[in-house]
Chains A and B, each alone.
Chain A
Amino acid sequence: MNNLIEFFKKAFHIIVLAVLLILSIVMLGTSLSFNEHSLARGVQSIVGPIQKSGAGMIHRFRLGPENEELVKQNIELMRERENMYIEKDDTTLTEMSQPDSLHRERIRMYDYTYAHVIFRTVDRAFNYMIVDKGAKDGICRDMAVLSPSGVAGVVTDVSSNFATVRPILHPESRISAVVTPANQNGTVIWEGDDPRVAYLEAIPQHSEINIGDSVFTNGYSNIFPKGLLIGTVKEVQVGNNASFLTIKVKLATKYTDIYTVYLVENLFKSELDTLKANFKDE
């Protein structure tokens, strides 16, 4: 018995060490699926407000109020852009009006709001951002996130006051894109290395792609409106798979320096999703 107690006295610090290391590995396991575990949620609920006020303080330092006004003005202007609407013939008006007059009805398809990034990572294999608006402010899953310079990501998870954004810098991120002026459709993915560079896939080898060509969203996804800048072509190589090109795209969004983001909601998303779901069933 004495031996046992003696042993515990000697090995006490080793036991403490083992327990602490195991505990931290368990925490690591929970953090891999952020926001789904009560521990991560609990920590976020304590730390979130502190970080928000911290980010706010720095924001005030940066001529905050003036910037805020400009963001609102920007949103007003962006809401009126052509790609925010779908047009269709208005049958009731066609008969009455002249053939050459305005008889096409414009229906708003996308709407904008804005938020501020309070946390982001760029140097990991699975990056993400957190913005300071959540379900209370009308943010919902699958909203598109834009930085002032281009496409930034997609909202993946929403709590009442915050939302998690999956940036392009994530292995599961896929954005359908069109490269101009060649007008070829492809998919932008990220390979987990450089936060400034992504890859454009599925562009046939015969297409003429030049360095400096612009890559835009093509609007097929129901998430992003068409015609938003993703980046510019940086390098073109003939890939291993001989029928497609490997294209490096320099991303327009600078993730290391991102603060204000715009969130785009597709007002017809549920309708379109229902159609797509029906298609899968058949």
Chain B
Amino acid sequence: MNNIISNLLRFIILLIVQVAICQHICLFGYMSPALFLLALFLLPLELPLSLQYLIGFATGFVVDSFAHTLGVSTFSCTLMMFFRPYIAHLLNGSNNKFENIDRPVPGVKDFRWIFLYTLILTSIYQISAVMLGTMTFRNFGHTLLVILGNIFFTVFVILCVEYIFYPRLKNEI
């Protein structure tokens, strides 16, 4: 119960920050962070898969409504939620030294795990979102720049937020 409330609260806060602030940031004309992805990254991995997809869909829809890009984030978030369990599984590998493997949180996982997990999932989201948003292969160089800029900025912001808000978990383990 407590977990549900904290997850819900995190979603609401991150969505407000995304819609009110992050969406309007456009560094150098092409770098804008998708901070709301953090809320999706931190969802418990043991949730039923179909529920995870639904949450991704709904989150994308809210972001899309405010960005006037109906469908772009919705599609990308759903796609990303599909890949999420596989990426987590892949990163866990045969290495079972983590007792609490289903919490993708700093402290529970080491930095390398968190970094790769964030980087891969952000890349899936941004490639899909930017390609759907531009809908063209013309000026692919520019599109690529936007994708790379967005991935870099998003990963940077998400890691900063994660390590600012979750450092004390390290001591608990």
Contacts and interface: CB of A to CB of B under 8 A. Distances in A.
Interface of A: 12-13, 16-17, 20-21, 23-32, 34, 39-40, 43-44, 46-47, 50-51, 54, 119, 121-126, 130, 192-196, 256
B50 A29 contact: no
Contacts of B71: 24-31
Interface of B: 20, 26, 29-30, 48-50, 53-54, 56-57, 60-61, 64-66, 68-72, 74-75, 78-79, 82, 132-136, 138-139, 142, 146
Given A24-B60, A196-B29, A16 B70 contact: no
B68 A130 contact: yes
B57 to A, nearest CB: 5
A170 to B, nearest CB: 13
Contacts of B74: 23-24, 27-28
Nearest to B24: A58
A43 B61 CA distance: 10
B88 to A, nearest CB: 16
A119 B68 contact: yes
Nearest to A164: B68
A247 B132 CA distance: 30
B70 A28 contact: yes
B interface SS class: helix
Given A12-B50, A47-B66, A24 B20 contact: no
Contacts of A25: 71, 75
Contacts, number: 96
Given A23-B74, A31-B64, 10 more contacts: A16-B49, A17-B50, A20-B56, A27-B74, A31-B72, A40-B70, A43-B65, A123-B26, A125-B135, A193-B139
Contacts of A20: 53-54, 56-57, 78
Contacts of A195: 29
B75 A28 contact: yes
6 contacts: A16-B53, A27-B71, A40-B68, A50-B66, A51-B66, A122-B29
A24 B75 contact: yes
Contact of B30 (A13, A16, A54, A123): A123
A17 B60 contact: no
Of listed B57, B65, B71, B134, residue having the most chain A CB within 10 A:
B71
A204 B135 CA distance: 34
Given A13-B53, A17-B53, A125-B136, A31 B26 contact: no
Nearest to A255: B29
Nearest to A43: B65
B142 A194 contact: yes
A21 B50 CA distance: 12
A17 B132 CA distance: 18
A22 B173 CA distance: 42
A31 B132 CA distance: 11
Contacts of B70: 27-28, 30-31, 39-40, 43
Contacts of B82: 17
A123 B69 CA distance: 12
A13 B29 contact: no
A192 B136 contact: yes
Contacts of B135: 32, 124-126
Contact of B26 (A23, A24, A119, A256): A256
A13 B50 contact: yes
B143 to A, nearest CB: 9
Nearest to B28: A256
A44 B79 CA distance: 25
A10 to B, nearest CB: 11
A34 B68 contact: yes
B68 A17 contact: no
Contacts of A43: 65, 70
B26 to A, nearest CB: 6
A61 to B, nearest CB: 12
Contacts of B146: 123
B133 A13 contact: no
Given A27-B70, A123-B30, A192-B138, A13 B65 contact: no
